[in-house]
Structure 1
Amino acid sequence: MGLNNKLKELEENNKHIKVALVGAGLMGKGLVSQMMLVKGMVPSLVVSNKVSDAIEAYTLAGISKDDIVVAKTLNEINIAMEKNKYVATDITEYGTKGNLVDVVVDATGVPNTGAKIARDAISNKKHIVMLNVEADIVVGPILNKLAKESGVVYTGTAGDEPGSVKEIFDFAEATGFEVLAIGKGKNNPIDYNATPDSVRETALKSKLNPKKLASFVDGTNTMVEMAAMANSTGFIPDIRGGYGPTTIVDDLPTIYSLKENGGLLDKYKIVDYAHGIAPGVFVVVTTSLPQVHHEMQFLKMGTGPNYVLYRPYHLTSLETPISIARAYLYNEPTIAPKYNKLVAEVITMAKKDLKAGERLDGMGEYTILGSIDTYEVAKKENLVPIGLIDNNTIVKKDIKKGEFITYDMVELDKNTEIYKLRQEQEGKEKPWV
């Protein structure tokens, strides 16, 4: 990879890409450790609500506490970075403002927080790498547009399933294959009733936030990742929520064929997920030329006419340095929305019966979960994107468990950054100005 040589050149010249990370949970801590092993890159600033987590991210990476500066002001951050110290702070807004910061990484996983971090990074002419797919699937197109206008890169991350799928998708298209379907594996059956309480013990064993694990188990995370794949490629779900078959890798080309050919699909150019192949990701391809079919069969890629390109792993934040380097060195994203509007939407379903006057919460919590559909269907049916709902959202009328939530059913918090960006993305007036 050209990136490898470029990073080595930086190191040899005693130059480094200075990275600010916001969010020091499981993924953030892993990224800090991994960056310490990457040539030409340094985790200069770590921001966390609990400054102790930021400090721990550094010490887990082998950094002495003597080399860590806990900063309370932007001036302290700038001075410490000039002295090549590692900086920890609990003030989120400073993550995007350090003078020497080249690239900001958002690993918070909170939609509104991610939207604000991204917009601030772009305003401050910093490249922004989003581990926060939850924000991207709501306001990614407008953030990408703003980044281009500012001459910086807005990108999702290598290593997360959407980024891993996009890498295979780009490879397939660049080599001349026709891409028919894209998707990811899911580890466990969907449990629509999963809450932080029901998964807490398992989550804590893995040092994972119970809300995060609950969003995996109730399927919301899968829908979010599929939406990011859709928005970056133009592919759409064939049905609401996807099919989610249980299969093995060798059967993917048959399953993701049209119904008349023994498969599941009504159409091609779709995104889906499958049980039994996790943690892998896949792209189903075909070709119009007989000689290419002959060579694919000679190469033991199956009998055709469809073939699967499968990657059996994705290393989440441990691969994020690739996206940081691509943004900084080549000014290009790993994965970003293809258009200035969404292709797919993650819509909101009631996880339980909800009463008028009740407050909602967020992904992986107690009141809501997500499902995927096309943006056009969501707009036509007035369905609320899950990333706009938070604990300031108030139910206006009773909603049954399993019912999809429309805008007239709830009162959204219109003061959030993500709501304002969404209005801008939709081309609506800016009532907050």
Structure 2
Amino acid sequence: MLGLNRKLIELEKAGKEIKVGLIGCGQMGRGMISQIENMKGMRVAATADLQTTIIQNAYMLAGVEPQQIITTNEIEAAEKAMSEGKVVATTDASLVIELPGIDVIVDATGVPNIGAEIAWKAIMNKKHIVMLNVEADVTIGPLLHQMAEASNVVYTGTAGDEPGCIMELHDFADALGFDIVALGKGKNNPLNYEANPATAEAEAKEKGSSPKMLASFQDGTKTMVEMNAVANATGFLPDVPGMHGPSGTASELPDIFRSKAEGGILNNKKIVDYVNGVAPGVFAIISSEKEEVNHEMQYLKMGPGPNYILYRPYHLTSLETPLSVARAYLNQSATIAPWHGLQAETVATAKKDLQPGDRLDGIGGFTVYGTLYSQQESVAANGLPIGLVDANVVMKRAVKKGEIVTYDDVEQEKESMIWKLRALQAMSF
């Protein structure tokens, strides 16, 4: 991200700014609006959400005067408002995507099917797209990335989300020629496969978050999806289905992520994993065969070797997203994208015994959680990607608790955008 601050200052001095179109004004979107109002050379010029009052409040909390916020679903009125330096609030996501003055779209909905449609339309309208929607990315990201390249726009995950932060460590180590043994993140709550909106309700209320979203963290799905994105970007794979998930401190990880022959837990190198005990941090375990490099690392108090840890103890989620916006617009490059295609798959796994006729309820619900497999393992099992699970998917065969849900086990009552794009991706790759 070096130099983006100076480029943004230059942009503003030239009387220009990056105009951002935001879809979804929940916690992530609201924080992003306020952060961008502090920045040079950029503004959230238009925002879509089901409730315009939420958008208006977000802009006012960011310091925008009420008279500068124009609420409309008419594209002409929106264009006029933007030309006058005002911001737009709308319930129509397509309006934001189609506005000629918008340069970069940010999807902050968190809903895979909605994110699929937003990304598709953004690329069709020749706009860069930043995904605060890892669930959609791991399901159809390879196709969207390919489409974006063909359209000469950028498709990217976001800085601040753990996959983007891990990618920064990976690229730093890779550029320097280190061997990268493992990439991972911390998990900040105990793994509970049975977590659901009911069990998470009290804690969610206390934190002011969605019970379903909190359950998706507790049952491990969010962690699996995030490391799935890293796998698709780097080619690194889970060492075992669902990853190891050891416990440890940052200083202990270089020894934990060694081969079994060396007293560690690994069967392979170049793996993705998660750790209980280092949240909210992300890490890369690196090594070198060069004697002088190891001598220097030890002199720099990086540990005794042969493995060392690069550790970032924070990630600022959507507050860092503007850096991905700027990088896409100014440098025509992605923070993280599925450059290696579909390397891994987060597969739906039964949270309880499922019977024919049961309707699945999506990520963080009562019916399924996600388990990360290599793509080869997922294909062999005919596993159903967690990103395809929604209320339109109904069980047609019984599946026991803890077992993989396969394509053969379900039927789709109503075709959705993400299923269509997944089918197109299967044909394209």
**TM-score interval w.r.t. the shorter chain?**
over 0.9
The aligned residue for residue 217 of structure 1 is: 218
Post-superposition CA distance 1:172-218 (Å, at most 9, x none): 01111111100000001111111112212322333322211110111
1:318 and 2:316 aligned: no
The aligned residue for residue 351 of structure 2 is: 351
Q: What secondary structure is seen at the aligned counterpart in 2 of 1:21?
A: strand
Distance 1:72 1:312 in 2: 42
Measured at CA, do residues 211 and 317 of structure 1 come closer, stay the same or move farther in structure 2, by a change above 3 Å?
same
Which letter does structure 1 place at the counterpart of 2:83? Answer: E
Deviation at 1:413, TM superposition (A): 4.9
The aligned residue for residue 411 of structure 1 is: 411
Deviation at 1:416, TM superposition (A): 1.1
The aligned residue for residue 382 of structure 2 is: 382
1:245 and 2:246 aligned: yes
The aligned residue for residue 333 of structure 2 is: 332
Distance 1:204 1:62 in 2: 28
Deviation at 1:428, TM superposition (A): 6.8
Distance 2:410 2:214 in 1: 26
Distance 1:30 1:81 in 2: 21
Alignment of 1:261-276 (within 5 A): 261-276=262-277
The aligned residue for residue 373 of structure 1 is: 373
Which letter does structure 1 place at the counterpart of 2:389? Answer: I
Distance 2:413 2:387 in 1: 12
Distance 1:355 1:70 in 2: 46
The aligned residue for residue 196 of structure 2 is: 195
Distance 1:45 1:211 in 2: 28
The aligned residue for residue 298 of structure 1 is: 299
Which letter does structure 1 place at the counterpart of 2:377? Answer: V
Which letter does structure 2 place at the counterpart of 1:331? Answer: Q
The aligned residue for residue 51 of structure 1 is: 52
Distance 1:241 1:354 in 2: 21
The aligned residue for residue 161 of structure 1 is: 162
The aligned residue for residue 399 of structure 1 is: 399
Which letter does structure 1 place at the counterpart of 2:322? Answer: P
Post-superposition CA distance 1:383-432 (Å, at most 9, x none): 10011111010110122221110111100356211111111111179xxx
User: What is the TM-score of this pair, normalised by structure 2?
Assistant: 0.98
Note if contact 2:143-2:428 (Cα within 8 Å) is conserved in structure 1.
Answer: no
Note if contact 1:414-1:420 (Cα within 8 Å) is conserved in structure 2.
Answer: no
Distance 2:317 2:40 in 1: 19
Gaps of 5+ in 2: none
Q: What secondary structure is seen at the aligned counterpart in 1 of 2:233?
A: helix
Q: What secondary structure is seen at the aligned counterpart in 2 of 1:426?
A: helix
The aligned residue for residue 74 of structure 1 is: 75
Deviation at 1:298, TM superposition (A): 0.3
Note if contact 2:73-2:95 (Cα within 8 Å) is conserved in structure 1.
Answer: no
Distance 2:57 2:205 in 1: 17
Which letter does structure 2 place at the counterpart of 1:168? Answer: L
Deviation at 1:355, TM superposition (A): 1.6
Q: What secondary structure is seen at the aligned counterpart in 1 of 2:320?
A: helix
Distance 2:76 2:201 in 1: 40
Which letter does structure 1 place at the counterpart of 2:178? Answer: F
The aligned residue for residue 427 of structure 2 is: 427
Distance 1:361 1:294 in 2: 54
Which letter does structure 2 place at the counterpart of 1:369? Answer: Y
Distance 2:216 2:306 in 1: 36
The aligned residue for residue 97 of structure 1 is: 98
The aligned residue for residue 36 of structure 1 is: 37
Distance 1:428 1:185 in 2: 34
C-alpha root-mean-square deviation of aligned residues, in Å?
1.2
Distance 2:81 2:359 in 1: 43
Structure 1 stretches of 4+ moved >4 Å: none
The aligned residue for residue 117 of structure 1 is: 118
Deviation at 1:257, TM superposition (A): 0.5
Alignment of 1:132-211 (within 5 A): 132-211=133-212
Deviation at 1:248, TM superposition (A): 0.4
Note if contact 1:138-1:422 (Cα within 8 Å) is conserved in structure 2.
Answer: yes
Distance 2:3 2:286 in 1: 27
Note if contact 2:112-2:135 (Cα within 8 Å) is conserved in structure 1.
Answer: yes
